[in-house]
Amino acid sequence: GQRWAGEFKYHTPVTLFSAADQYLFYSFFLTVSADTQTADLSKAVVLLDPQWNHVLTNDRVTLKCQGDYPVEDNSTKWWHNGTLISSQTPSYFIADVKVQDSGEYKCQTGLSALSDPVKLEVHVGWLLLQVAQRVVNVGKPIRLKCHSWKKTPVAKVQYFRNGRGKKYSHGNSDFHIPEAKLEHSGSYFCRGIIGSKNESSESVQITVQAPETLQTVSSFFLPWHQITFCLVMGVLFAVDTGLYFSVRRHLQSSEEWRDGKVTWSKGP
């Protein structure tokens, strides 16, 4: 039979990752880096003044953008229902709010990421029951306000929960629950005398719930992109390490492996 002989000097070092693996590694690295930079940039926050996100027509509303600004540059971007609006000041003031002003507002400063949306609802009527939060954790306070159109005087104000009177005052005072309990959940509305007419607000559903523990538990876990990155790199490491030792074992056990030389042969 024929026999081919040749000399092969091993110069190329054995690499742990193939070209495809390295490409995948750098892709994940860039993704994680981008996500980390975004996470490091704190979000701006939209604050309402007054705090109520349910208002009546002709009310005055000020939205404030809380975030980080570059030196001597407090320009701010505002969005209403996804559309960029002309105001570039840290506070967006609406003197006489209208129904069309309802919707979601977002803001962004020079050194802050885009804020989460804040929803503003503008209602038409004589009375509006205002509440800071419609979902309240047990033990937290609940404050209700019977708000009148253009701050018209209201007399003999009553607050109701599930149709039962809970507070009465000759004038117009707020209804305050210092520590919410589960039984405070229900449908609330207020009623009062404006001029000679008996006016009532629309009902508002308030839910009192046990404190959430999901956020506390989830804080012990890594973000999804970090978990995925670690899993992928672990699999690549295991596969490439296995291939490396398999090839090395095969070469070392070969009778034709001599001082970095390999002899090829063609069978008889």
pLDDT on residue 34 = 46
Q: What is the pLDDT of residue 107?
A: 98
- Which of 93 and 226 is assigned the larger pLDDT? 93
Q: In what order do the strands lie in the sheet with 127-131?
A: 127-131, 142-148, 175-177
Q: Which residues pair with 84 in a beta bridge?
A: 79
How does pLDDT run across 222-251, given as a tens digit for each residue?
Answer: 555 566 665 756 656 666 666 666 656 665
pLDDT of residue 211: 83
pLDDT in tens, 152-208: 999 999 999 999 999 999 999 999 999 999 999 999 999 999 999 999 999 999 999
Q: What is the pLDDT of residue 65?
A: 98
Domain 134-211 homologous superfamily, CATH: Immunoglobulins (2.60.40.10)
Spatial separation of the C-alpha atoms in residues 249 and 135, rounded to whole Å: 65
pLDDT of residue 41: 79
Q: Which of 144, 160, 145, 156 is nearest to 194 (CA)?
A: 156
Instruction: Compute CA distances 132 → 6, 22, 84, 135, 173, whole Å.
Output: 85, 52, 27, 9, 16
Q: Could you please state the CATH topology (level 3) that the domain comprising 43-124 is classified under.
A: Immunoglobulin-like (2.60.40)
Tens-place pLDDT, residues 55-91? 999 999 999 999 999 998 999 999 999 999 999 999 9
The three-point CA angle 147-152-155 to 5° equals 80
List, as one string, the DSSP characters of 216-266. Answer: HHHTTS--HHHHHHHHHHHHHHHHHHHHHHHHHHHHHH-TT-BTTB-----
Where are the strands (E) in the chain, listed by range?
A: 45-49, 54-56, 61-66, 77-80, 83-84, 91-94, 103-108, 118-123, 127-131, 135-137, 142-148, 155-161, 164-169, 175-177, 186-194, 197-200, 204-209
Q: Is 132 in a helix, a strand, or coil? A: coil
Q: Between residues 220 and 167, which one has the greater pLDDT? A: 167
Encode pLDDT of 123-144 as tens digits. Answer: 999 999 999 899 999 999 999 9
- Which tokens sit at 38? 């975004």
Whether 43-124 shares its CATH topology with 134-211 is answered yes
Buried b (16+ CB within 10 A) or exposed e, 76-87: bbbbbeeeeeeb
Domain ranges of the chain: 1-40+212-239+254-268, 43-124, 134-211
**5-51 pLDDT per residue, tens:** 444 444 444 444 455 555 554 555 445 444 444 456 799 999 999 99
Burial class (CB in 10 A: 0-12, 13-18, 19+), 46: buried
* pLDDT confidence of residue 227: 63
Please answer whether residues 108 and 66 qualify as being in contact, where contact means their C-beta atoms are separated by less than 8 angstroms: no
